[in-house]
C-alpha cells in the first residue's frame, strides 16, 4: 500500500490544491490531505470548516482522506505509514522554500517529497491572494471550487462586496 500526504493550511482550498490532490490520487493507493493546526495563526476559516470544505471537494476521489495534524509533519507521516509528501510547485519562488523543507524532512526521517508542477492556469493562484481579492469584492470564481466560493462569499459582508 503506497501512502502519501498533501499537507498545508488550505485556508481556503483552491482549484490549484484540488488539481494536486487529484494527480496525487492517481499515483498513490491512499492520499491524506492534512491540514496544519497552527494555534498561533488565525485563519479565515476554522480548522473544522476547512476539513468540511476539503471533504466536500475531494468526495469524487475514494482514496483521498482528510485529516488535521499539529507538530512536525515527519512525525505525522511516521505515525501513519506515509512515505511521501506531495507538494505543488508554482514557480521558482516556491522552490526556494520548498526544497529546504524537503531536504530537512528527508534528513529527519527519510520521508521524501514529490513536487508536481502546478497546472499553468493555477500558477498564480494562492489562498492568500484569493482572500485578498475577495475581501475587496473581486471575482474569485475562477480560482475556487463552487462550494468553497460560496463559503468565501459568505465570509465577506454584503456591504463589503
Ligand atoms: O499551506 P502552507 O501553509 O504553505 O503549508 C506549510 C506546511 C503545513 C506544509 C508546513 O508549514 C509544515 O509542514 N508544517 C508542519 C511543521 C513542520 O514539520 N515543520 C518543519 C518543516 S521542514
Residue ranges and CATH numbers for the domains of the chain are: 3-122 (3.40.50.620)
Q: Is residue 130's pLDDT more than 60?
A: yes
Q: In what order do the strands lie in the sheet with 84-89?
A: 64-69, 30-36, 3-8, 84-89, 112-117
For a pocket test of ligand 1, which of 10, 36, 97 has the largest count of ligand atoms closer than 8 A to its C-beta? 36
Question: Predicted confidence band at 158 (pLDDT cuts at 50, 70, 90)?
Answer: low
**Active site (annotated) includes residue 68:** no
Instruction: Report the alpha-carbon distance of residue 79 to residue 20 in Å, rounded.
Output: 23
Ligand 1: residues within 6 Å at CB?
7-9, 36, 72-73, 101, 104-105
Q: Which of 25, 50, 87, 127 is catalytic?
A: 127
CA angle, 21 as apex, 16 and 27 as ends, to 5°? 135
**pLDDT tens track for 20-51:** 999 999 999 999 999 999 988 889 999 999 99
Q: Whose CA is nearest to atom 20 of ligand 1?
A: 72
Q: Which of 17, 50, 87, 131 is catalytic?
A: 17
pTM of the model: 0.96
**Active site (annotated) includes residue 90:** yes
Q: Classify residue 63 by its DSSP letter.
A: T
Atom of ligand 1 nearest to the CA of 102: 22
Across the range 97-110, mean pLDDT stands at 98
Q: Is residue 161's pLDDT more than 90?
A: no
- Residue 8's beta-bridge partner residues? 35
**Active site (annotated) includes residue 23:** no
Amino acid at each position: 500500500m503506497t501512502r502519501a500526504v498533501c499537507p498545508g493550511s488550505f485556508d481556503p482550498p483552491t482549484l490549484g490544491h484540488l488539481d494536486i490532490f487529484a494527480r496525487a490520487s492517481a499515483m498513490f493507493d491512499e492520499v491524506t490531505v492534512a491540514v496544519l493546526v497552527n494555534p498561533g495563526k488565525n485563519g479565515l476559516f476554522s480548522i473544522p470548516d476547512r476539513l468540511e470544505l476539503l471533504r466536500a471537494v475531494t468526495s469524487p476521489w475514494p482514496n483521498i482522506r482528510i485529516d488535521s495534524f499539529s507538530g512536525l509533519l515527519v512525525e505525522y507521516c511516521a505515525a501513519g505509514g506515509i512515505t511521501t509528501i506531495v507538494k505543488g510547485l508554482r514557480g521558482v519562488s516556491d522552490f526556494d522554500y520548498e526544497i529546504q523543507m524537503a531536504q530537512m524532512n528527508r534528513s529527519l526521517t527519510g520521508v521524501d517529497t514529490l513536487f508536481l508542477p502546478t497546472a499553468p492556469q493555477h500558477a498564480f493562484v494562492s489562498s492568500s491572494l484569493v482572500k485578498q481579492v475577495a475581501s475587496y469584492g473581486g471575482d474569485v470564481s475562477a480560482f475556487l471550487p463552487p462550494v468553497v466560493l460560496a463559503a468565501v462569499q459568505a465570509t465577506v459582508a454584503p456591504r463589503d462586496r
